[in-house]
Amino acid sequence: MTPQIKGQVVDRSTGKPINDVKVILTSRNSDITDNGGNFLIPQIEYNYRIFPPKNHDYSDYSGATLIFTKDNYKDKYYTLGNLPTTNAAQDQESYNVSIKRYVHMGKVYLTPVNSSITEVQEEIISDTLDYCHPGQSQKDIECIPLPKGMAQR
């Protein structure tokens, strides 16, 4: 099963939430942000009848891309790689295929397009996202907020 992914989409220039942003996970799951810029991509559960999934089937998202798209903003693509996930107990270490996993993206900043440029404008983040370190801002660094109760490594 894939993790549940949630967060808020914000205008990088104004700091205000952006509604009606299409958020797409390439594995057939999507959402559209609400008036507060919030989105939720539910988990995708895979059912197997004969053979259980191998560890790499559910822990490696190297082929998946999380896409944020809205008119008048640069499209933003996150190539997920080994995205850090937690379970309900905020335990990052244990990974069991039957335990629901979570990713809280925090704020995802979209940049308004430059109207003087006619080519496609996009941001592609292909590095594995890490948890933000103390003093880092998601507006400046592509990172995920550290879940409450979890110690920085």
What tens-digit pLDDT sequence spans the chain (153 residues)? 677 889 999 999 999 999 999 999 865 688 999 999 999 988 776 555 566 555 544 444 446 788 899 999 999 988 766 556 666 555 554 455 566 677 888 899 999 998 888 777 888 887 777 888 888 888 888 888 877 766 665
Q: What is the CATH number of domain 4-125?
A: 2.60.40.1120
| Long-range contacts, stretch 15-24, CB < 8 angstroms, 24+ apart | 18/70, 18/73, 18/110, 20/70, 21/68, 21/69, 21/70, 21/73, 21/110, 22/67, 22/68, 22/69, 22/70, 23/66, 23/67, 23/68, 24/66, 24/67, 24/69
pTM for this entry: 0.76
Backbone angles phi, psi at 39, to 5 degrees: -140, 160
